Structure 1
Amino acid sequence: MPAAARPSLPTGPRPAAPDLNRSAVARYLQLATLFRRRVEQGIWLPGTQIPTVDDLAAEYGVARATIRQALDQLAGEGLIERFRAKGTFVSTTPPQRLWCDVETDWNGLLRSREGAHIEILSDTPGQDPQSLPASEGLPAPLYRHLRRRHWRDNQPFLLADVWLDERLSPQITTEDLTTKTALRLVASIPGVRIAQARQTLTIGAADVEAAAQLHIPLNAPIAHVHRLAIDPDGTLLLIANGTYRGDMVRIDVKLR
């Protein structure tokens, strides 16, 4: 930090503080999310000093230790810097955020992400269709269950469970499993036709497993994506359930 004092954030009327007691999520995690959004939305600008721990504790009606826990989250993410006897400042060069587009058209869903690689966490053949999540279509005799984790720039951004009609397995290589999106695994097989495909997206919070696998805090925002593919005979060829990091996902929908 330069010798001259950095600018502080402008003062003025603030919106009413949220009621942190209305959620089961720990208060410090709720506050970390609020503070993170202030940085990401430019409310707390790079190079500016943020309010003191005492000011934030008074604003939100919580203990100073809770504010420190929340700020620890931001410091760990490289969003803020602390300087002894000077205060806490928004980083002048915040870390590059990885934007992962959740595609909304067929061609986009088949396209692999540049610079990404896929880690196979487990591969279990011979799964009874009754063990699958509830879905549409006529079940195949057996399914192959894959759990995969997608990485880019040394950061995991997607945890996915994939169930494939096991009769397709002989036509899928190990390279396919580590390079192709779930729908492309099926769509690229010669002679296989997809008559119906569907995608559903919901927003949620990371549980213990998702937080550990995606390297994010417990209860951090995530996006759940459910995809399926059905052949012309009505057979369910594929189910793919993905969990995306909420801080690294973007959904663009062309309206016209």
Structure 2
Amino acid sequence: MPTSTAIHPAPAAGGARAPRRTPRFTAGPTTLYAQLASVLRGHIASGEWPPDSDIPSIDELCAQYGLGRITVRQALQILAAEGLVSSQRGRRTFVTYSRDQLEAAPLFPTFAAVGVQTPEYGVKILSHTRTDELPPARWDLGRSAGPYMLVRKLDQSSGQPYGLSGIYVAEDIYKRFPKGAENRSKLVRLLVKYAKVPVTLARERVRVAAADFAEAEGLGCAMAMPVARVERVFCDADGRVVYYSNTAYRGDRYGLERDISEYLHRV
């Protein structure tokens, strides 16, 4: 039976304010060190632990969160692997993550921005597979009418991975793409350019989840790190799905900005 432990944190080193809410670590599917890494990651992302500042020592973190040294070390190893902290001989572990890195995260202000490419964009094609059907657990919109070409790829910005995708494109449309075009351009741009039938439905939904092993390995992040899982479905006038994608974006590289001014007039 899962157990919960309420932790009463002590003040952090350097006079930083303790969290307003008491973290609750639970013995369950997510390991304690992954839970702690999430808490510490929040201190960095919020600016509570600013760039180049020393973070509390392992002993201080053990006392602050009521966890063992091994758990704390494993949590710090996760943050180090993500490039958030570093330790050098002769000084304490310090923050290496800057606000500039956060501001550089790919943003998707509108659905149309999905197809926008910046000069920093890069793609690594992982595989091509011909298939007759869409995945059974997909978002149930439109009609599956294969064959499809399944393209698995890794989206990058300035050489750093931020999105891992499995994309199904109707084979008759995919065959119109110039040879090797998916190595240079986003598939959604190619779809819009080369589809001879109008796309009449385009839907997207976003869910936040913990990265599984394949996502963590592909995106270069820790398992259980938050990722945004985004499904997109494009259908033609006959309701045939011509494009279906399922993408996992690194949580620290994904953001949404939307102008919601129009909603003020509906209140």
User: Which TM-score band applies after superposition, normalised by the shorter structure?
Assistant: 0.7 to 0.9
The 1:231–1:153 alpha-carbon spacing in structure 2 relative to 1, beyond 3 Å, is same
Say whether the 8 Å CA contact 2:139–2:231 is kept in structure 1: no
Give yes or no for the alignment of 1:100 onto 2:109.
Answer: no
How far residue 170 of structure 1 moved from its aligned partner, in angstroms, is 2.2
> SS of the residue aligned with 1:101?
coil
Give yes or no for the alignment of 1:181 onto 2:186.
Answer: yes
The 1:130–1:177 alpha-carbon spacing in structure 2 relative to 1, beyond 3 Å, is closer
Q: Work out the CA distance in 2 between the residues paired with 1:104 and 1:19.
A: 36
Give yes or no for the alignment of 1:129 onto 2:126.
Answer: no
Give yes or no for the alignment of 1:30 onto 2:35.
Answer: yes
Letter matched to residue 247 of structure 1:
D
Say whether the 8 Å CA contact 2:153–2:166 is kept in structure 1: yes
The 1:141–1:67 alpha-carbon spacing in structure 2 relative to 1, beyond 3 Å, is closer
Q: Work out the CA distance in 2 between the residues paired with 1:14 and 1:241.
A: 35
Residue of 124, 147, 153 corresponding to 1:119:
124
The superposition leaves residues 107-137 of structure 1 with CA deviations (integer Å, 9 ceiling, x where unpaired) of x122223311211111112x12264535322
Say whether the 8 Å CA contact 1:145–1:163 is kept in structure 2: yes
> SS of the residue aligned with 1:73?
helix
Return the TM-score normalized by structure 2. 0.82
Find the counterpart in structure 1 of residue 56 from structure 2: 51
Letter matched to residue 133 of structure 2:
P
Find the counterpart in structure 2 of residue 18 from structure 1: 23
Which deviates more from structure 2 when the two are superposed, residues 82-91 or residues 97-106?
Answer: 82-91
Q: Work out the CA distance in 1 between the residues paired with 2:107 and 2:97.
A: 26
Say whether the 8 Å CA contact 1:17–1:59 is kept in structure 2: no
Question: Tell me, which stretches of 5 or more residues in structure 1 are unaligned?
Answer: 1-7
Say whether the 8 Å CA contact 1:221–1:245 is kept in structure 2: yes
Say whether the 8 Å CA contact 2:166–2:245 is kept in structure 1: yes
The 1:114–1:22 alpha-carbon spacing in structure 2 relative to 1, beyond 3 Å, is farther
> SS of the residue aligned with 1:118?
strand
Find the counterpart in structure 2 of residue 68 from structure 1: 73
Aligned identity (percent) is 28
Say whether the 8 Å CA contact 2:134–2:168 is kept in structure 1: no
Runs of 4+ in 1 over 4 A off after TM superposition: 11-14, 83-86, 92-95
Alignment root-mean-square deviation, CA: 2.4
Aligned residue pairs, count: 247
Q: Work out the CA distance in 2 between the residues paired with 1:232 and 1:83.
A: 60
The 1:109–1:61 alpha-carbon spacing in structure 2 relative to 1, beyond 3 Å, is same
> SS of the residue aligned with 1:140?
coil
> SS of the residue aligned with 1:100?
coil
Letter matched to residue 74 of structure 1:
L
The 1:31–1:185 alpha-carbon spacing in structure 2 relative to 1, beyond 3 Å, is same
Return the TM-score normalized by structure 1. 0.86
Residue of 203, 210, 232 corresponding to 2:208:
203
Letter matched to residue 198 of structure 2:
R
Q: Work out the CA distance in 1 between the residues paired with 2:196 and 2:60.
A: 65
Letter matched to residue 132 of structure 2:
D
How far residue 57 of structure 1 moved from its aligned partner, in angstroms, is 0.9
The 1:175–1:111 alpha-carbon spacing in structure 2 relative to 1, beyond 3 Å, is farther
Q: Work out the CA distance in 2 between the residues paired with 1:23 and 1:240.
A: 31
Find the counterpart in structure 1 of residue 93 from structure 2: 88
> SS of the residue aligned with 2:14?
coil
Say whether the 8 Å CA contact 1:117–1:150 is kept in structure 2: yes
Find the counterpart in structure 1 of residue 175 from structure 2: 170
> SS of the residue aligned with 2:101?
coil
